[in-house]
Amino acid sequence: MRAWEQRIEKLTFDGEALSVHRRINRTTVPYPDHSSVKELFERCARDHADAVAVVHRDRVLRYRELNQLANALAARLQREGLKRGETVGVCIDRSPELIVALVAILKCGASYLPFEASWPDERVRSLFEAARCSWLLSDRARALAVRFPECHFVPVEPSEPSDHYPNPDTPVSADDIAYINFTSGSTGKPKGVPIRHQSIARLVFHALYARLDARTVLLQLAPVTFDAATFEIWGALLHGGTCVLYPSRYVRLSELKHVLQSHGVTVLFLTTALFNTVMDEAPGTIQSVETVLTGGEAHSLKHIRRGLDRFGTERLVSVYGPTECTTFATYYPIRELLPDETALPIGLPIQNTRVYVVQDDKLCGPGDVGEVLIAGPGLSPGYLGIPDVTNERFVEYDIDGEVERLYRTGDRAYLREDGNLVFQGRTDDQVKISGYRIELGEISHHLGQHPAVKQNYVTVSQDLAGEKALLAFIVSEGEGCSPTAIRDFLKERLPGYMIPSSVYLCESLPLSATGKVDRKALLGVHHPPIHASPVQPSSGAPSP
């Protein structure tokens, strides 16, 4: 049974809940919903032929040149047998060749599946199997061809533009799949998330969260395996703007500042963790940028406040959205922090997107916590090859006589009176230790209130016997940030069973390639624990 054929459930609601949801979901605006990325890019290449499309170190590609290179590669792929609807694995370093490859694949009516060469062979094979991918484009000579001999390998090398190749006449629909990202699965098996051409257009046209037009200069910083790259690449290239490729694999703040200033970057996306690092170490790094988007994890109010103090009220925007909804679903221009604010809102739905807060098949009114469900043309058609999970996460509800297909995010939030959503953790961000159910986000929130804590990260470890323990990692500032002091601070705010049994002091929180806190690196470095005395649960029966 396909996701859109499953039984339609009916949501109940009261007048206030329905009214606020109707108000925040008036987001429909015209956009090129019947055009493919191929058509939209080729239109830009025609209308902005001499404008700069891509910059990487000392290389510059104008739209005419980028289109010619992509046409040449597309013709080569079609000669070798690539057909519309097929999937192409892409393993290319951040470079003009990467952008040429992505455009060429879409020109063929195929979809791209980005992956990293460092990923284990069996993991890559499982992705290829799920996506039915038998093509492989790479700039790594033939090393990957040896690792994956079952794939049709096409090497990608720098080349000169040629005007001998016209735009391919392959028909590409707005409903065709443009790319596939894989997200981690609760069962340990990655979930393939296909995204349509139409969903990319919905993300970047008439954007409420940033100015995207022919004057836009966007920094491409995220790995292409991370869905933020969708915004960074196509937010520029479908408007006639400029996509500046960050020159190094890992971010150095001095280099980041130089790139932003020298190329006049106007829009920048930073993960929450990277934004916090910038605020801690060198806030002047992003001083020149017109709009700084940040998201991916719950925000630290301390770092947001520093950003407001440094940049004012017209520059910072919090963005939120799961991969299944094409990068961004909500936005929140950060104008102020209220004195009693405990969490930064994730905001209102972006253009052509609808958001609902639901608990027990009932629309939540302002102040009531429920699960965030998202609707609109940004939604993926469903997970590849796992219809049971698709039917669980992509659901249909009758809402006051209108049927909506929605994605259940697993995120909890409530609506403020003004309609802005406030994130309240995950429905599955819950661990069970000694019979007690514990929300890790709640512990992290209280750690963030300590005046000497700059950054924190809370997780769970498990030994060979299956025993679990709470761990807290702290980046401190100033005096009074010892493990004992941290635990004493938490004891005043949380029950005993929620106090981490181990507290680690760190110089910094290591980040993964996608800019999120690298849990494995933390656990690998900090052993044995700095502080590890057992904690006895407080009185009271365990929760069910």
What pLDDT shows up at residue 437? 54
What pLDDT shows up at residue 530? 36
Give the CATH number, domain containing residue 483. Answer: 3.30.300.30
What's the structural domain count of the chain? 3
Q: Residue 1: pLDDT band by 50, 70, 90 thresholds?
A: very low
Give CA 179 to chain center in angstroms.
15
What's the mean pLDDT in 177-189?
77
For residues 185 and 66, membership in a common domain is answered with: yes
Residue 3 in any domain: the answer is no
Residue 531 in any domain: the answer is no
What pLDDT shows up at residue 342? 83
For residues 251 and 140, membership in a common domain is answered with: yes
- pLDDT tens per residue across span 487-497: 999 888 877 77
Q: For residues 295 and 352, what is the distance between their CA atoms, to the nearest angstrom?
A: 20
Question: Is residue 540 pLDDT above 80, yes or no?
Answer: no
| Beta partners for residue 498, in sequence order | none
Provide the domain limits for residue 339: 12-23+327-383+392-426
Indicate the pTM of the whole model.
0.84
Pair 21, 421: CB distance under 8 Å = no
Residue 242 in any domain: the answer is yes
Q: For residues 282 and 38, what is the distance between their CA atoms, to the nearest angstrom?
A: 39
Q: For residues 103 and 112, what is the distance between their CA atoms, to the nearest angstrom?
A: 9
Question: Is residue 372 pLDDT above 70, yes or no?
Answer: yes
Range of lowest pLDDT (184-193, 200-209, 337-346, 349-358): 184-193
Question: Is residue 531 pLDDT above 70, yes or no?
Answer: no
Written as one string, the DSSP assignment of 12-71 is B--HHHHHHHHHHT-------TT--HHHHHHHHHHHTTTSEEEEETTEEEEHHHHHHHHH
Pair 183, 190: CB distance under 8 Å = yes
For residues 316 and 400, membership in a common domain is answered with: no
For residues 172 and 78, membership in a common domain is answered with: yes
Pair 37, 106: CB distance under 8 Å = yes
- pLDDT tens per residue across span 505-517: 998 899 887 788 8
What pLDDT shows up at residue 544? 27
CB atoms within 10 A of CB 282: 14
For residues 240 and 96, membership in a common domain is answered with: yes
Q: Which two tokens stand for residue 380?
A: 């993926």
Measuring CA to CA, which residue among 446, 458, 535 is closest to residue 497?
535
What's the mean pLDDT in 514-536?
61
- pLDDT tens per residue across span 19-66: 999 999 999 999 999 999 999 999 999 999 999 999 999 999 999 999
What's the mean pLDDT in 355-380?
96
Written as one string, the DSSP assignment of 263-332 is HT--EEEEEHHHHHHHHHH-GGGGTT-SEEEEESSPPPHHHHHHHHHHH-SSSEEEEE--GGG-S-SEEE
What pLDDT shows up at residue 50? 98
Q: Which two tokens stand for residue 471?
A: 């761990």
Written as one string, the DSSP assignment of 195-210 is EEHHHHHHHHTT-SSS
Q: For residues 25 and 355, what is the distance between their CA atoms, to the nearest angstrom?
A: 7
For residues 279 and 343, membership in a common domain is answered with: no
Q: For residues 77 and 66, what is the distance between their CA atoms, to the nearest angstrom?
A: 16
